[in-house]
Amino acid sequence: MAKQAKKLIANNKKVYHDYFLEETFEAGIALAGTEVKSMRMGKCSIKESFIHIENGEVILYGMHISPYEKGNIFNKDPLRPKKLLMHKREIQKLVGKIAQKGYTIVPVEVYFKGSLVKVEVALAKGKKLYDKRQDIAKKDQRREAERDFKIRNL
């Protein structure tokens, strides 16, 4: 079977600023038909979304999928909690890790893999304020170096 292309729908850039990502997992997502059609049009946001594990099920809260225009009565609530589909071993591993202080689970990006909608989920550790400052300083240094390099090569 050939490797399927990954078509990005939405990503959460703020995650990289607020957390250290330690491990990533790929999870399926349980959606209704009109939600998938809306996602094909790119109408999805995971900016304020977060993940909880309840009764051995991984649930994504705060993911906004705009209602499909031609969906009429079949449209679901745009902010309804969505179940993520993962293997039991992966879920147990996540439960063990988030029991430790400072760990959380965050959605990083949503994409199509073939015809299936997938969510990249990361086990993350929160950054302190000084870590964020260091990241910003590194980014500024890199930007300054690229600018100098560009000027020298003109």
Q: With 0-12 CB in 10 A as exposed, 13-18 as middle and 19+ as buried, what is 119?
A: buried
What lies within 8 Å, CB to CB, of 22 at 6+ separation is 103, 122, 123, 124, 125
Residue 74's pLDDT is 64
How many of the other CB atoms lie within 10 Å of CB of 141?
10
- Please give the distance of CA 76 from its chain centroid, rounded to a whole number: 21
Residue 115's pLDDT is 82
Q: Using an 8 Å Cβ cutoff, are 71 and 95 in contact?
A: no
> Residue 63 has which token pair?
């993911």
pLDDT in tens, the chain (154 residues): 456 677 888 788 888 878 888 888 888 888 877 778 788 887 888 888 888 888 888 888 888 887 777 766 667 677 788 888 889 898 888 888 888 877 888 888 888 888 888 888 888 887 777 777 888 888 888 888 888 877 777 6
